[in-house]
Structure 1
Amino acid sequence: MPSLMERLSSLLGPSHFKLGLRAAVAGLVAYGLATGLALPNGYWAVLTAVLVVQATIGASLTVAIDRALGTVVGGVVGVAAAMLAGNSATLTYVALGIAVFFTATLSARSASFKLAPVTVVIVLLADPSHLEPWLSGLHRVFEIAVGGVVGMASSILILPERALLRLFPFCAKALRLNAGLLELGRDGLLGRGLDPSALDRLNSGARQALRAADARIAEALREQVGGWTGQVDPAPVVRCCRRLWHSVIILLRGADRPMDTEVATRVAPSLDAAVAGLNGHMLALADRLDGQKVEGLEQKAQAARAAVAALEAEAERLNGEGVLETAGADTLTALFAAVSACNHVRENLDDLAARFDEVEAER
């Protein structure tokens, strides 16, 4: 039975505490600046600073740019609408509708402008008797700018995390889940039973891990533009992981219909060896993507290639001996799909290793 501390550590890791620290510092610094500069609505600086701080530098830069774009566009539209409406309540009502419609349409087209409608409402309706519209808009832009700068500075200076380093662990997770899927598929084909709930859990986990890796690619590219990382493109590594997952799915498609007993008995040793060899290479690559030092990686790759070649040879032997002539159509389909899937997995593992070598060399 895990202790309370063990449960908490499984829910909250070092990266979570780092993000909490960065956000807290950013909020306090922004509040201090807003107070020192006597900003009329300094809470916007604090809110922006806290929102800009994200898990990685690239994500923080994305949020900062989006808030800046949304604020500037919303401020310009809001000021124009307020000046045209003047002190007329009727015209303000009409201008509000038109301005929100325009900026909300922009935000629907691009998420970068999602703050624009909010800024329009603030400029048009907040404290109309105290400030001129253009001055209210200028204050809002300045407050967002202060918060954005503080948030970015906190992300860069306080225990920074780069998207590139956060990306590959998601790939490693996908590989480990694929290793489990490969074993499930093999057991299903050989009549050892197939657990549908485990299949769904592993498959869903692999999909989510690859989606998370895709999201980190955009963040890593933002960091390249900002000059915080070298010109390392992680996309080929993620694509290899996705192709590998698709190759495993080929084997899984027939896993709910076991092969005929005679064929399954004959092919079981070579299929077991192929899956063991592929998973040995796959898990070693997962450790490497996690930043661990892996010994004997090439030997594991060679063992996987030899095991898959032996599986191919066994399928050809069964065909030559006439064993497959009496096998059912489902068995034939499952056998050759398994051989094809193992070959594709092997190729994708080799390609993944080569692409990650390139990333490491550039980094």
Structure 2
Amino acid sequence: MPPIASLARTWVHANDAHLRQAVRIMVAVAVTFATYKLIGLQQGYWAVFTVLVVMQGSIGSTLGAALDRLLGTLIGAALGGIGLAFHPEAPLELCAILVVVTGIGGLVAAVRPQLRIAPVTAAIMLLTAPPGLPVQSFVADRIVEIGLGGLIGVLAALLILPARSRDLVVERTVAVLERIGTMLDEQAEALEAGKALPTSPNHRALRNALGAVEAAMKDADRERASRLANHGIPSAIPRTLWRVRNDLTQIGRAIDEALPGNAAAGLAAAAAMSLRAEGALARRCATALTAVKTVDRGTVVAGQAQFAESFDAFRRDPDAQTLDFDQSGRIFGLAFAIGRLHRDLLDLAKRVDEIAGGGRRGSRRGVAPPTD
């Protein structure tokens, strides 16, 4: 294959989701334009603008944006209509009504940011109303145009190369699990080298990535509530991932200074081995989630058991009595965090197993997989 063709194919594969979204938008815009021309809407470009605003990367997010856009438009149109009912003609009157109406709309948007279109709609209504046109007709036209754009946007997301929010949840969860595996390897390396591990920027990135998982899960739940799709992902998965993130944070605090020498010799190697096994389990969870298979536990249970034995031996060692309060607190905190991490990752593996089991039952019997 020629180099240019190979590069082009690689680029298309890497940007497949973006290209699909571009196709959905182009088709939706074309259909919207043709529809508003066909039914004779005077300002049908509002419908086109709405399609461009509401079209998101998945069905659930598009549905949410369309509903927020429609509700914000209803509120803004109502405010603008009330303002127009006073028939402002002088610039000073129009300015005063504009200030009041957009102020109310801004308050609505501040309370519920999803409705930030409300003050914009109210202002456009006041500033673009044709003279002599009945207020109720002007308001009704805007609502019809926005509703048309939102409807076409949702249908386009649903029918044209549909992108289910479930796929986005899985993709983002896999990215989180890979990051967790990397962070656990970093912590294991620090313990093996007997060095301190300063707070990693990966913690902030992990927090942001978990927020992205929650957002995708919310879109997937919206699809399920609308009976557009049933994602079959337990709602406990994002919560469990947050617990794992908290465990990582506690482990990081325990090793942000090197362990004392008399503790490092007995515990560091066993702790590092356990963390590596937990990191491998996180990656196997990612692999199983992608392939819709059960999770191979590997050596994680044996690694945790070996660490527990090492910790019990350390507690009986006379050297443990020589530690000061801070050193003792860090070592016992490390042991507690590693134990909790082990439990949380095993719980996550069970949730992934539920997805695999639900997927098989659903494919055989035509029933929806469990969601929790």
Partner of 1:142: 144
User: 5 Å matches for 1:1-363?
Assistant: 5=7, 9=11, 13-129=15-131, 131-193=133-195, 196=198, 200-230=200-230, 232=232, 234-289=234-289, 291-292=290-291, 297-300=295-298, 303-327=299-323, 329-360=325-356, 361=358, 362=369
* TM-score, normalised via structure 2 length: 0.86
CA distance in 1, matches of 2:55, 2:132: 32
In the TM superposition, what is the alpha-carbon distance from 1:148 to its structure 2 partner? 0.9
Contact 2:220 2:231 in 1 (8 A): no
Contact 1:54 1:60 in 2 (8 A): yes
Contact 1:107 1:113 in 2 (8 A): yes
Contact 2:214 2:238 in 1 (8 A): yes
In the TM superposition, what is the alpha-carbon distance from 1:255 to its structure 2 partner? 1.7
CA distance in 2, matches of 1:6, 1:341: 47
Partner SS for 1:58: helix
- Which residue type is aligned with residue 105 of structure 1? L
Percent identity of the aligned residues? 23
- Which residue type is aligned with residue 208 of structure 2? Q
Contact 1:182 1:251 in 2 (8 A): no
CA distance in 1, matches of 2:9, 2:308: 46
Higher deviation after alignment, 9-18 or 133-142 = 9-18
- Which residue type is aligned with residue 306 of structure 2? A
CA distance in 2, matches of 1:44, 1:245: 44
Query: CA deviation digits over 1:262-312, x for unaligned, max 9?
Result: 4323324322321222122111002123x12557x3442xx2122112111
Partner SS for 2:285: helix
- Which residue type is aligned with residue 333 of structure 1? G
In the TM superposition, what is the alpha-carbon distance from 1:331 to its structure 2 partner? 4.2
Query: CA deviation digits over 1:222-277, x for unaligned, max 9?
Result: 11221012384643100001101111111110222112334323324322321222
CA distance in 1, matches of 2:82, 2:328: 71
CA distance in 2, matches of 1:10, 1:338: 46
- Which residue type is aligned with residue 103 of structure 2? F
In the TM superposition, what is the alpha-carbon distance from 1:131 to its structure 2 partner? 2.7
Q: Where does the alignment leave 5 or more consecutive residues of structure 2 unmatched?
A: 359-368
Query: CA 1:217–1:38 in structure 2 vs 1: closer, same or farther (change >3 Å)?
Result: same
Contact 2:189 2:272 in 1 (8 A): no
Query: CA 1:211–1:244 in structure 2 vs 1: closer, same or farther (change >3 Å)?
Result: same
Contact 2:188 2:273 in 1 (8 A): no
Query: CA deviation digits over 1:331-359, x for unaligned, max 9?
Result: 43333222212211110011112233334
Contact 1:176 1:286 in 2 (8 A): yes
Query: CA 1:13–1:192 in structure 2 vs 1: closer, same or farther (change >3 Å)?
Result: farther
* TM-score, normalised via structure 1 length: 0.88
- Which residue type is aligned with residue 68 of structure 2? D
- Which residue type is aligned with residue 332 of structure 1? S
Q: Where does the alignment leave 5 or more consecutive residues of structure 1 unmatched?
A: none
Paired residues in the alignment total 356
Contact 2:62 2:154 in 1 (8 A): yes
Partner SS for 1:253: helix
Contact 2:29 2:51 in 1 (8 A): yes
- Which residue type is aligned with residue 275 of structure 1? L
Partner SS for 1:131: coil
Contact 2:285 2:349 in 1 (8 A): yes
In the TM superposition, what is the alpha-carbon distance from 1:314 to its structure 2 partner? 1.0
Query: CA 1:78–1:293 in structure 2 vs 1: closer, same or farther (change >3 Å)?
Result: closer
- Which residue type is aligned with residue 352 of structure 1? L
Higher deviation after alignment, 5-14 or 252-261 = 5-14
